[in-house]
Structure 1
């Protein structure tokens, strides 16, 4: 089992290629994971917000960890490709237990945030680097080189001047990579010039978030990004489409006409 997980972790890590990024449309349950893998994507990533909402909770570590890891196990069992999990800041679990439960679920990668999911307060760089180093040590002890994606939350603050925060983002990214992270994730940083500079200044792989107003996939590849995530975007789009179908049902119409191409003639 350990050898299989180690092979999956190596395969996931190899997908992180600057300029030819890993594309990860985030899933939330076994069905959506099968859809992602069935579409030909070589790995499945989860979204913490989408998983939480699909389980009847909200994002921000309100979901009991047991439910999170049970959902993760169902996802990992449903697909033959590597699975990486968005685990917020670890749900208060000690690093050794976090890694153990991740591997027991069959996943081989994880995201960890550097802000408090409940308050949004940023943690000190040193504290976050220590957490990442402990997670890396626990993974090494387990014999599985899990792919550790360190989220940088500096750009989440409303009205933040992103250019002014870039030096701190580079400092955090460099520290996190030195602590054992494989990739850094400056979530919501979308300005092409700033993203390009961060990629150039950071000694490791960079994850970008695909969303409205962000650069396109070809543009992100040209900027040197090594990983592209969709976060909760697909879950939200799926929900919006479902609401359109339900509105059609409520109005007494045919919901499936929404999916039919318009007749030509």
Structure 2
């Protein structure tokens, strides 16, 4: 019997209680099903990977685009799906809350809310306002007792504000506002990671790894609970596509096509 949304949410919460797990980021139904076949226990959407798959740049998709995508992912796999819900597709807390309700209705097991504004002149929401946005997301999730896990994200390192004390202060505040998991994409050193883990303990921390870096075992030793890869799997797939397409366009040859994954294996996996 297929897992229900309630089953997936319960499983996802239990996964955050101990150990360290990889939460890979598929960008469409096929990549999500492939990751399930490979044995991963949960997946997360990627705002960038999904946007590229529909011919848009990151952070330029609509709420309807994302909710349709999340519904498709949740229906395609028996795994918990965590939503990269960007900034909630709204500024005001009450609108964030309304949009979170829409996300919950897609069947996701978790979702994240970030504090970036998209405004280069003022890249992060004012601290108190950012906290209110997390509180609003928490209230929306709790309203129907869905059990969806809320991740609070501080985007400081991604927008050039690399003051670790500022990032930690915000993460602690988001934890106090009701975030179940904390996430500071862009932190990389052992010292940074350890400081974040210690500051928000006992709540779990998500670590972004986009290329070579710590192994799962090394991250676990630092107290990291889960590891996501953002748009990196999508970028890897696009790399193969671009190499082959450019060879055809620029050289009129087809050598790179020989590096493709065997079609028979793909058919077997999806069969």
> Common fold, TM-score beyond 0.5?
yes
Separation in 1, partners of 2:227, 2:205: 9
Structure 2 unaligned blocks of 5 or more: 262-271
How many angstroms does 1:254 deviate by? 4.2
Q: 1:41-190 alignment to 2 at 5 Å?
A: 41-60=40-59, 62-92=60-90, 94-119=95-120, 121-158=123-160, 162=162, 165-190=163-188
How far does the alpha carbon of each residue in 1:198-236 deviate from its partner, in whole angstroms, 9 at most, with x for none?
211222211111123532222111111011110000100
How many angstroms does 1:186 deviate by? 0.8
How many angstroms does 1:117 deviate by? 3.1
Q: Which residue of 1 aligns with 2:8?
A: 8
Gap change, CA 1:244 and 1:85, over 3 Å in 2: same
How many angstroms does 1:78 deviate by? 0.6
How far does the alpha carbon of each residue in 1:178-211 deviate from its partner, in whole angstroms, 9 at most, with x for none?
1110111111100111211221122221111112
Separation in 2, partners of 1:182, 1:227: 13
Separation in 2, partners of 1:198, 1:29: 31
Separation in 2, partners of 1:157, 1:138: 28
How many angstroms does 1:118 deviate by? 4.9
Q: Which residue of 1 aligns with 2:268?
A: none
Q: Which residue of 1 aligns with 2:253?
A: 252
Separation in 2, partners of 1:88, 1:35: 24
What SS is found at the alignment partner of 1:207?
strand
Separation in 2, partners of 1:207, 1:30: 23
Gap change, CA 1:156 and 1:8, over 3 Å in 2: same
How far does the alpha carbon of each residue in 1:44-82 deviate from its partner, in whole angstroms, 9 at most, with x for none?
10011111121221112x212111111111111110111
**Is contact 1:52–1:68 with CA below 8 Å preserved after alignment?**
no
Structure 1 unaligned blocks of 5 or more: 261-265
Gap change, CA 1:24 and 1:118, over 3 Å in 2: farther
2:27 aligned with 1:25: no
How many angstroms does 1:259 deviate by? 4.6
| TM-score where L is the length of structure 1 | 0.87
| TM-score where L is the length of structure 2 | 0.86
How many angstroms does 1:134 deviate by? 1.4
Gap change, CA 1:83 and 1:118, over 3 Å in 2: farther
**Is contact 1:83–1:109 with CA below 8 Å preserved after alignment?**
yes
What SS is found at the alignment partner of 1:184?
strand
Q: Which residue of 2 aligns with 1:219?
A: 218
Q: CA RMSD in A?
A: 2.2
Q: Which residue of 2 aligns with 1:263?
A: none
